[in-house]
A and B are shown apart, each in its own frame.
Chain A
Amino acid sequence: MLKYIFKRILILIPLIFLVSFIVFALMDNAPGDPVRTLVGENMTEEQIEQKREELGFNDPLLVRYGRYMKGIFRGDFGKSLYGNKDVLKEYLFRLPYTVKLALLSIFFTLIISIPTGIIAAVKQNTWIDAIFSAGAIMGLSIPGFWLGLMLVLIFSVKLGWFPVYGADEGLKSYILPAITLGVANASLLTRMTRSSLLDTIRQDYLKTVRAKGLSERKTILNHAFRNALIPIATIAGSQFSGLLSGSIIVENVFSWPGIGTLTVTAIRTHDITLATGCAVLTTMFTAVTLLIVDVLYAFIDPRIKAQYTGK
């Protein structure tokens, strides 16, 4: 098990190199001149050129990349061009907002999709199943950011129940963005729960359970669902890590002070250091989350655990 975790952590190193190279090379060709942004408008061409030389912007791409990587491994992601703030600090300041939102959203997803998925599977081919399945495919088809706009329009503007934007009103401000991010995930997970449960219901050992006279309710909850849980947990885990980067557009709708808004602002203002830092940090953070999720599976599924310890 430890060996496996160690191996997964080792993969992070080439990942950091790859993602930062891709982002670095792309940003190098991006519009806007970082040096001009840095020094301000009222400087002569010569002064700008001097500053450029001073900051090492005239070095070849690979040299600058090497310098950047050296910084990263010492925890130095540079300073943002606007406001001259430490990129890592700024990112870590915003990160909790996104993580809290993702946690709440995945909580919504689970409490909605698991019961509906179970009911749809147990009542397979009835009208309840039809309604839940139709709801799920609708939920999968709604663009998240548009759903967010509509929810704000109804519940914040018309009814005044929730704030229109921002994260200043505690739990109240979290509800609409969390639901917005959760709908598509909940729809997918309802479908997964249904089909995964239908799969297990057909297994022979459930026939045995029924044959020995256990009630249908206990059969489903104690035996079928526990075995159907593994694929459900797999999807939920990857959905959670997906929320960390995938909330960019929805964060924008709610002017959420998370890492998504930070990334988009960095890009819009041509703040190359901040944008590169955001991309690298988000990738690393997503990868670490996935690693944690994968390790957790081993605790749900003894078969996976046996694979690691067996070797």
Chain B
Amino acid sequence: MKKSHKKTRNKSLIWRQFKKNKGAVIGLVVFCVIVVIAIVSVIVFDFEADITAVKAADRLLPPSKEHWFGTDNLGRDVFARVCYGAQYSLLIGVVSVIISVVFGSLVGAFAAFVGGWIETVIMRLIELLLMIPGILLVIMIVYTFGASIPNLMLALGLSTVPHFARNARASVLTVRNNEYIEASRALGASELRVLFKHVLPNAISPILVQATSRISGCIISAAGYSFLGLGVPSPLPEWGAMLSDGRPFIYNYPYLEIFPGLAIMITVLAINQIGDGLRDALDPKLKR
């Protein structure tokens, strides 16, 4: 009973800190709006009729009252496609980071926990993997297994597992040396209980901050890979894929390139603001 009381107080403290950062609050509001747009457009738009169907009569119309963002070279409404595309970027960003966090934390926490030569071997391997440029790994994985959303998520997620593993190990090691861990050991808690009850919850905030900033990184990278044709395949209105489709028309129909790009930028900006706010709120030591 006492414990849960303390937990809620802690949470409201974080929230109060977060609220002080105006940029972070605006970021959170914008992010929520984007999530709502993503959900609503799945309900409102029909994938076949509104998103992928070719309408030859409406080719390359400039922005107007009927088509807010104009239409593309196949007569598809750019506004509908940009809204519909929100779900892909959000999903790819979140799922690939979850993959990195889960695997990375498990590997890193395991290494820190077992110690000895196993830890040395794991960390050496991680050091080596860190030296392989992530962008090359992603491109090779997606190319080999085919350009699709799940493959892109997996590739993006796996390519940053070593980063998260290293961080997770570092924060577990820091936490493990604290006196309250020693205290709970002294009280007779088992090693596993210590790891899951005390070490991981306290090591989680740096991991969380890293994860938030990684989500925006993943969204930008995913769009870049789709732009190269090594990400989300073209008829799907993912923002990077739309930029790739519109590229041959950039000189005469620049709006085809402007709106999807702005969509990426606003989404990433919102998440970066949230990340900054979280960092300040979770780690008062970093606050300036």
Among listed A33-41, A111-119, A261-269, A302-310, interface-contacting one: A261-269
Give the interface size bracket for B toward A: 35 or more
Known: A137-B269, A249-B228, A268-B229. A153 touches B143 (CB 8 A): no
Give the contacting residue for B268; candidates A19, A141, A195, A282; CB below 8 A: A141
Give the interface size bracket for A toward B: 35 or more
Within 8 A of B (CB), among A235-251: 242, 244-246, 248-249
B254 & A146 in contact (Cβ 8 Å cutoff): no
Within 8 A of A (CB), among B128-145: 128-129, 131-133, 135-137, 139-141, 143-145
Min C-beta distance of B160 to chain A, whole Å: 14
Q: Is B62's beta carbon under 8 Å from chain A?
A: no
B228 & A264 in contact (Cβ 8 Å cutoff): yes
Q: Is B243's beta carbon under 8 Å from chain A?
A: yes
Known: A153-B254, A286-B131. A142 touches B265 (CB 8 A): yes
Known: A149-B243, A149-B247, A245-B135. A26 touches B140 (CB 8 A): yes
Give the contacting residue for B139; candidates A11, A19, A146, A263; CB below 8 A: A263
Chain B residue at minimal CB-CB distance from A28: B144
Among listed B1-9, B174-182, B194-202, B216-224, interface-contacting one: B216-224
Q: Is A229's beta carbon under 8 Å from chain B?
A: no
- Binary interface profile of B, 3-28, with partner A (CB < 8 Å = 1, else 0)? 00000000000000000000100000
Task: Determine chain B's interface SS by DSSP, over half rule.
Answer: helix
Min C-beta distance of A144 to chain B, whole Å: 7
Give the contacting residue for B261; candidates A18, A137, A146; CB below 8 A: A146
Known: A145-B224, A248-B139. A124 touches B265 (CB 8 A): no
Chain B residue at minimal CB-CB distance from A12: B131
B224 & A18 in contact (Cβ 8 Å cutoff): no
Min C-beta distance of B159 to chain A, whole Å: 11
Min C-beta distance of A193 to chain B, whole Å: 13
Q: Is B264's beta carbon under 8 Å from chain A?
A: yes
A sample of 10 cross-chain residue pairs with beta-carbon separation below 8 angstroms, ordered by A number, consists of A14-B128, A22-B132, A23-B136, A23-B140, A27-B140, A142-B265, A153-B251, A268-B229, A282-B133, A282-B136
The 8 residue pairs across chains A and B that have the minimum distance between CB atoms:
A245-B133, A146-B261, A141-B269, A141-B268, A249-B224, A30-B144, A26-B144, A143-B220
* Residues of chain A having any CB pair with chain B under 8 Å: 11, 14-15, 18-19, 22-23, 26-27, 29-31, 124, 134, 137-138, 140-146, 149-150, 152-153, 157, 195, 198, 242, 244-246, 248-249, 252, 263-264, 267-268, 275, 279, 282-283, 286-287, 290
